[in-house]
Amino acid sequence: MKNKILVISIMILAGVAGFSLQRAFIDDKNQNLTPELPESTASIVGQQRPDFGLKDIEGQMRKISEWDGKVLLVNFWATWCPPCKKEIPAFMELQNEYGDQGFQVIGIAIDEEEAVKDYADTMGINYPVMAAELAAMEVSRWYGNRLNALPYSAFVGRDGIVSLTKPGELTRQQVEDIIKPMLAMKIAETIQ
């Protein structure tokens, strides 16, 4: 019995490794990145947010700089990740509730564009969503995700400084607790 479990485990690991290698050699259609990686992203917290540009699921090039002056939740996710999908309804509610106060959720899917587009349409996601597979993984690392964890979120203040990164699922209450003080600060206060 133990031998069967060992053989099955080895087969699963080999399959995952093969899939990962295959994905590494696939040309990612959306690798339109602005390569402005900070010198050290080991601890991105307290640093200026990295610049990037990715196409959204509608085919429009989006740059992180278009949301300068807003409190950002940059969320890395995938359609095949149950905790990722569990967060999205709360993010949509928060976008509705706090969007007019300067809060912006940005979803970056490490996934195939068609799967993301279908899921976003089905859910009615009300914030910008980009799907870029390998390019999204690279941006995720720029934002401090060294373990390639999903979901993974980075919070950016109005001043463009990364204030917090969080691997794993976030609840609505956790996000509110993080963004409320950030929303209360005006840009002038963050610069002083």
pLDDT tens digit sequence for 54-84: 999 999 999 999 999 999 999 999 999 999 9
pLDDT of the residue at 159:
96
Q: What is the pTM of this model?
A: 0.76
Confidence of residue 172 (pLDDT cuts 50, 70, 90): very high
pLDDT, tens digit, 9 for 90 and up, residues 91-110:
999 999 999 999 999 999 99
Going across the sheet that includes 152-156, the strands are 129-131, 103-109, 71-77, 152-156, 162-167
Closest CA to 77 of 10, 35, 125: 125
What is the number of helices (H) and of strands (E) in the chain?
A: 6, 7
pLDDT of the residue at 120:
97
Would you identify the CATH topology of the domain 30-191?
A: Glutaredoxin (3.40.30)
pLDDT of the residue at 192:
47
**Better pLDDT: 169 or 10:** 169
Give the C-alpha separation, 130 to 5, whole Å: 39
Give the C-alpha separation, 87 to 93, whole Å: 10
pLDDT of the residue at 64:
95
